[in-house]
Structure 1
Amino acid sequence: MTSTIIRSIQLLLSISTLIIVHELGHFILAKIFKVRVEKFFLFFNPWFSIFSKKIGDTIYGLGWLPLGGYVKISGIITTEDVNHHNNTKKNDWEFRSKSSIKKLLIISGGIISNILLSIIIFTCLLFQYGEIYLPTKNIPYGIEVDDLGKNIGLKNGDKILFVNGQYIQYFNEIPKAIILGDSITIDRMGKIVHLSLDNNKKRYLFDRKKFSFFIRPRIPIIIDDYNSSSTGVDGLKKNDEILAINSKFVLFSDQLKNFVSKYKNENILITINREGTIIHKNVYVDNKGLLGSINLKSFMDMDNIFLFEKKKYSLIESFFHGTKKSWNVLKNQIFFFKNVFHIQTKAYKQIGSLFSMAKEFPSTWNWNIFWTFTATLSIWLAFLNLFPIPSLDGGYILFIIIEMITKKRINESITEKCTVLGFLIISVIMIFIIIWDIFKVLLY
């Protein structure tokens, strides 16, 4: 319950930040061009508001429906303004009285703000924490794969040489390159193997119930810590390396999982390397096929084997790499959107509402993860608002561009009808996504 509350608070804080920044973009540019803003609301307020206060010409408020927010700009067509503007005189402080360029900037303000927010967040994170990379060349034992990795043709011990014919410098970029790519070239025990990535294989990556790392560096079996009071682990020490079980070589963690599961509720003889000395110990395997309470090191703890590169950036360098990161996030979202329409990939199963977003946040508070996810969502929000659907920013932008090209104003009654239709389309889509999200929870 506590983890659910923490995730919910993080989600609420994140989307509130994104909504305020988005609407602030419209608000600021409207004020710059002397356009009156009638309302500025965080969350929607059908029928009633939690809070509202008028300051100057603007009513600031908090709605009760956390599915978005809005600013109501004087002279812009909304669903509340049907048949209102046709018979009224244009005032200088109205949106409709401004030039097409000013209109375009005001409407684009939210998208621009979300893009800038993403860049600023990534810049600050990089400046504060820098980055830690694991060069692909520094993975001596190849990769370990889960069922997803096996389904696309990879095997434990494979060494990835190229993805789409390109060498990937850092290992953390390989999973993304595989999802985006069409082919993988690997070294499999000295033999060069080429794997194609068609839509049938891509569906394994998209059609998964929860996120997982389908590849990771293959690692030796080194003890990190254990509960000394547990049965059958006496005499073990941190940094002991397991080499064999019942006199059979077991050198890597993926081999250990497969081998130990055969000896549930039994004692096994393990051979360990302790600082160059070979030692034999009896260890009990529990009914789950695990070595009691022994915890093994991850590759992140083996910096003597996996040589990481740690990078610190100046403020200017952080801005450059932060901008690059935002651009890469946008490219990933465009790729995902394209795959949604390829039924074979089953990418549509990854579409979710606020419920799915909440699950992506960690169960304990972590500011680094929180801001990283918020920056990612900010670009996602900017991308969605570019869609040329009336009632979204992209729909208004489309109308303005048509006006700029034709040099004629679009009939306001047409704009009004399209806006109402767009609002209904968006509402139906949102309801469908929420129902689909609930269905996924019940199904999985």
Structure 2
Amino acid sequence: MFSIIVRFMQLILCISILIVIHELGHFLLSKIFKVRVERFFLFFDPWFSIFKKKIGDTIYGIGWIPLGGYVKIAGMLTEKKENKNWEFCSKSSIQRLLIISGGIIFNVLLSIFIFSFLLFKYGDIYLPTKNVKYGIEVDSLGERIGLKNGDNILFINGKYIPYFNDIPKSILLGNSITIDRMGKIIHLSLNDEKKRFLFERKKSNFFIQPRVPPIINYVIKNSIADKYGLKNNDEILAINSEFILFADQLKNILYKYKNQTVFLSINRNSILIKKKIFLDKNGILGIFLKNFLDLNKIFLLEKNNYSLIQSFPYGIKKTWSILKDQIFFFKNIFSFKTKAYKQIGSFFSIAKEFSSQWNWNIFWILTGTLSIWLAFLNLLPIPSLDGGYILFIIIEMITTKKIKEKILERYTIFGFIIISLLMMMVIIWDIFKVFFY
């Protein structure tokens, strides 16, 4: 229950930041061009609001439906012969275009600022592909696209990927993988049918990771491992006469000997120790093994630190990289072969991405990612979104004729209905995934 509350609080704070920054973009551009803003609200406020206060010409407030926010700009849809100079319609096409684009611009800037700050504070940690000594470990999804434990990935789309961190994303974006399997060069194709397995996955964990030796990271209290005296940092060498070189081999061998007594050989501080252990019906010891991040003496990581000035160009690069990934995903949503639409989620799915304990690093990474996603969605030429208004203004600029108010109103209402229906469908789908999928 506590973890749910923490995730919910992080979600509300994240959404609030994104909305305020987006609407602030419209607000400040309006002020620059001397357009009056009548209302500035965080969340929607039908019938009543939690808080509101008028300062100058603007009413600032907080609504009670946390699905968005808005600024009400004076004269958005008026077509009088003489518009007042503080109304939106009295301004030039360029000024109106900038005011409408303000939210998108500010969301992009927020994303760049967040990623620049994170790079400045934490730097970047990478695992060079050349340092993946033992090949890869794959789960069932990795196997379904043709990969196997121990494979060494040489190229994706004919290109060498210098950092292992980028390989899962490159596989999703790519069309072919070249691997070294025990000295044999194999070419795997990546068609939509294979990618469908990856898009259909229920968990967001990686389907490949570096293969690691079976070294205990943590022994669960009161487990079989704890009962028989296994300790953190023990390396499991063999079970009975079967040698174990890698973590992925351990689970299958343990399951093979379930409900049996086995002899476990371990390396503890360069001393060979043998233990006689009875495995339960599940063949589970009750341990967590180290991953490649815990084994920095084996897998040499590279860390790049950035000065405040250096962080901004790399922050822009990071934002652009995330945007490209989002565009790729958006394109695949409409493909029934990949079934990427199954990964669509509402606030419920977003909340699950936050840490169960408050983690500012994860919080800001998600906020920066969602900010550029919000900018991208608002750029789509859909009526009632910023992109719809931008499209109408561009048409006006090309034709030199203003679009009639009734047409704008009808398209805005139509767009609002469509978006509302889509949101309802996504929420229903999200609830269905939680309880039935």
TM category (shorter chain) comes to over 0.9
Matches within 5 A, 1:160-239: 160-226=153-219, 234=228, 236-239=230-233
Cα 1:397/1:50, change in 2 over 3 Å: same
Q: Is the 8 A contact 1:38 1:73 kept in 2?
A: yes
Name the SS for the 2:84 alignment partner.
coil
Q: Structure 2 CA distance, aligned partners of 1:424 and 1:159?
A: 50
1:426 to 419, 426, 429: 419
Determine helix, strand or coil for the equivalent of 1:345.
coil
Question: Comparing 281-290 with 60-69, which one deviates more in the overlay?
Answer: 281-290
Alignment CA distance shift 1:404-1:127 (3 Å): same
How far apart, CA to CA, are the structure 2 residues paired with 1:67 and 1:126?
A: 30
Q: Residues 426, 225 of structure 1: CA spacing in aligned structure 2 closer, same or farther, 3 A cutoff?
A: closer
| Residue 262 of structure 2: aligned partner | 268
Q: Distance in 2 between matches of 1:237 and 1:383?
A: 50
* Superposition TM-score, scaled by structure 2 size: 0.96
Alpha-carbon separation, structure 1, partners of 2:66 and 2:222: 50
Q: Does residue 14 of structure 2 align to residue 14 of structure 1?
A: yes
Partner of 2:55: 55
**Residues 150, 229 of structure 1: CA spacing in aligned structure 2 closer, same or farther, 3 A cutoff?**
closer
TM-fit CA distance, 1:6:
0.6
Counterpart in the other structure of 2:402: 409
Residue 30 (structure 1) aligns with: 30
Aligned partners of 2:81, 2:44: CA distance in 1, in Å? Answer: 27
Summarize the alignment of residues 333-372 of structure 1 with structure 2, pairs less than 5 Å apart: 333-372=326-365
Residue 156 in structure 1 maps to residue 149 in structure 2: yes
Q: C-alpha distance in 2, partners of 1:230/1:9?
A: 34
Instruction: Give the number of aligned pairs.
Output: 436
Indicate if the aligned counterparts of 1:86 and 1:412 stay in contact, CA closer than 8 A. yes
CA distance in 2, matches of 1:165, 1:401: 41
What displacement does 1:277 show? 4.1
- Identity, % of aligned positions: 67
2:113 is the alignment partner of 1:132: no
Counterparts of 1:275-286 in structure 2, within 5 Å, are 275-286=269-280
The residue identity in structure 2 corresponding to 1:430 is: M
Counterpart in 2 of 1:242? Answer: 236
Residue in 2 that maps onto 1:44: 44
Structure 1 unaligned residues grouped into runs of 5+: 78-84
Q: Is the 8 A contact 1:158 1:186 kept in 2?
A: yes
Alignment of 1:86-101 (within 5 A): 86=79, 89-101=82-94
Give the conservation status (yes or no) of the 8 Å contact 1:223–1:295: yes
Amino acid at match of 1:381: L
Are the counterparts in 2 of residues 271 and 281 from structure 1 also a CA contact under 8 Å?
Answer: yes
Residues 1:386 and 1:227: Cα distance change in structure 2 (over 3 Å): closer
Would you say 1:113 and 2:113 are equivalent positions?
A: no
C-alpha distance in structure 1 between counterparts of 2:380 and 2:333, whole Å:
15
* Aligned with residue 316 of structure 1, among 299, 309, 312: 309
Q: CA contact under 8 A between 2:224 and 2:279: conserved in structure 1?
A: no
Alpha-carbon separation, structure 2, partners of 1:353 and 1:227: 35
The equivalent residue for 1:69 is 69
Amino acid at match of 2:18: L
Q: In the alignment, is the contact (CA less than 8 A) between 2:42 and 2:62 conserved in 1?
A: yes
SS at match of 2:249: helix
Partner SS state of residue 92, structure 1: coil
**Contact in 1 for aligned 2:42/2:63 (Cα 8 Å):** yes
Q: Deviations over 1:260-292 (max 9, x none)?
A: 01222332112223444433222332333212x
Partner AA of 2:104 in structure 1: I
Q: Is the 8 A contact 2:267 2:273 kept in 1?
A: yes
**Contact preservation (8 Å) 1:247, 1:271:** no
**Gapped runs of 5+ residues in structure 2?**
none
Q: Which residue of 2 aligns with 1:82?
A: none
1:246 and 1:426 mapped to 2: Cα distance?
A: 61
Structure-1 separation of matches of 2:403 and 2:224: 79
1:437 aligns with 2:437: no
